[in-house]
């Protein structure tokens, strides 16, 4: 576009200069006669009239006014210029007018073409600026939309990632809470079982102690035990054997066997059982202590994990909220830029009929004007040469001058 504008401007400058020179040439012959003197002449002889008929045709064909009109008509057909065609028609109608009148009509047409070209040059410059500016704006907004789309894509993906992480953290918090609740419930059941076991062991030991005391007291009273309760009358002896029908008792009854003998003595059995209950009580207490310690440690660890997960969910929730606001801002910006882009695209479409589309291009119109102006200049030259002052203003002399110019 810039190169074409330079070429058209150079042609236009040459055209204007040529028009100026043509105008100066025409100004030199302003006021000359445009017709032969109307001196009375005798009528031609019949033979001479017949001989002069072809000369009359030649005169018409070589008439500078007709030549100028034909030149303009031919150029009008070539350039399809209605204005130039109208001028040629006006000149043909006013061929008998003075030369100055015809020259003024041609000059007006030249100035009109110059003004049209000037206006079109200004319009062309405006179009080039608007097309360039609009195209640049359209590209910039498309790049901005693409940039916003990339940001929105990344932010949306990050938002989804945060949503999943928050859901995972909340799920873990719920699982930890369920685990702690279940562990606490199990610990309560275990504690209660241990308490019952300890209580039963204690009750069993108390009962065994009471039973042992009763037996020892019986054996002491029955004489089967020594003063320190460590031996009975039958210590080391075989168990007493009773007859099926003893008729008499030769001594007092002190027991069937040693109550403390191992493993079958009744007191020995009670003592062993009491010891087992005592051991069970100790084991249960130790187990309770171990279970409670492990429970406390586990609860402590789970509380830490639960608090960490809750904090993670909270922090990511804040981040998600900020990111959602950022996405809303990006979407708003994209909508605004997209609206501006639509307006720019529409403006570019509106520029097409005035600046791009049309029956002819700027270069074609400029070339056509150049042809029209050149034809007008040539017409002025023809008329200028035809109406130069001559020594003999007779019609035949004028005809001879015209013929020489046409040759």
- Of 296, 278, 109, 96, nearest in space to 200 by CA: 278
For residues 91 and 105, is the Cβ–Cβ distance under 8 A? yes
Residues 6+ apart with CB under 8 A from 168: none
What is the distance of C-alpha 382 from the center of its chain?
Answer: 69
Question: How many alpha carbons fall within 13 Å on the CB side of residue 284?
Answer: 19
Alpha helices, DSSP H only, in 352-360? Answer: none
Query: Please, are residues 383 and 44 in contact by the beta-carbon 8 Å criterion?
Result: no
Q: So what's the pLDDT on residue 223?
A: 66
pLDDT grade for 244, boundaries at 50, 70 and 90: low
Which residues make Cβ contacts (< 8 Å) with residue 67, sequence separation at least 6? 382, 406
Taking the chain, what is the end-to-end CA distance rounded to the nearest angstrom? 43
Q: Which is more confidently placed, 65 or 318? A: 318
Numbers of helices and strands, H then E, in the chain: 8, 0
Q: pLDDT, tens digit, for every residue of 338-357?
A: 999 999 999 999 988 888 77
- What are the pLDDT digits (tens) for 157-212? 999 999 999 999 999 999 999 999 999 999 999 999 999 999 999 999 999 999 99
Q: Report percent pLDDT > 70 for the chain.
A: 64
Quick: pLDDT tens for 125-146: 888 899 999 999 999 999 999 9
Flag whether pLDDT at 119 surpasses 50. yes
């Amino acid at each position: 576009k810039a190169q074409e504008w330079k070429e058209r401007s150079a042609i236009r400058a040459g055209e204007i200069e040529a028009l100026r020179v043509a105008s100066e040439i025409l100004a030199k012959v302003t006021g000359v006669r445009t017709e032969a003197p109307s001196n009375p002449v005798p009528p031609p002889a019949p033979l001479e009239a017949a001989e002069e008929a072809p000369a009359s045709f030649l005169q018409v064909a070589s008439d500078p006014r007709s030549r100028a009109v034909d030149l303009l008509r031919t150029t009008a057909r070539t350039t399809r210029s209605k204005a130039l065609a109208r001028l040629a028609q006006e000149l043909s109608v006013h061929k008998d007018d003075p030369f100055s009148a015809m020259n003024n009509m041609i000059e007006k047409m030249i100035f009109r073409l110059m003004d049209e070209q000037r206006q079109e040059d200004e319009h062309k410059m405006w179009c080039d600026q608007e097309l360039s500016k609009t195209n640049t704006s359209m590209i910039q907004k498309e790049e901005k939309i693409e940039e916003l789309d990339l940001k929105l894509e990344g932010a949306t993906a990050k938002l989804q990632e945060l949503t999943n992480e928050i859901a995972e953290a909340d799920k873990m918090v719920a699982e930890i809470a369920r685990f702690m609740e279940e562990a606490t419930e199990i610990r309560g059941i275990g504690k209660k079982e241990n308490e019952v076991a300890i209580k039963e062991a204690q009750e069993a030991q108390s009962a065994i102690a009471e039973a042992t005391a009763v037996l020892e007291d019986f054996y002491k009273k029955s004489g089967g035990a020594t003063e320190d309760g460590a031996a009975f009358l039958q210590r080391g002896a075989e168990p007493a054997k009773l007859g099926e029908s003893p008729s008499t008792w030769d001594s007092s009854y002190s027991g069937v066997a040693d109550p403390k003998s191992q493993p079958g003595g009744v007191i020995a059995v009670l003592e062993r059982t009491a010891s087992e209950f005592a051991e069970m009580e100790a084991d249960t207490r130790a187990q309770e202590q171990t279970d409670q310690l492990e429970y406390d440690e586990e609860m402590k660890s789970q509380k830490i994990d639960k608090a960490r997960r809750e904090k993670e969910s909270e922090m990511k929730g804040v981040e998600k909220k900020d990111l959602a606001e950022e996405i809303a801002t990006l979407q708003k910006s994209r909508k605004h830029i997209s609206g501006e882009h639509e307006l720019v695209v529409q403006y570019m479409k509106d520029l097409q009929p005035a600046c791009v589309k049309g029956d002819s291009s700027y270069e074609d119109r400029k070339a056509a004007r150049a042809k029209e102006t050149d034809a007008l200049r040539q017409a002025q030259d023809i008329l200028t040469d035809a109406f130069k002052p001559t020594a003999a203003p007779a019609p035949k002399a004028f005809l001879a001058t015209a013929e020489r110019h046409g040759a």
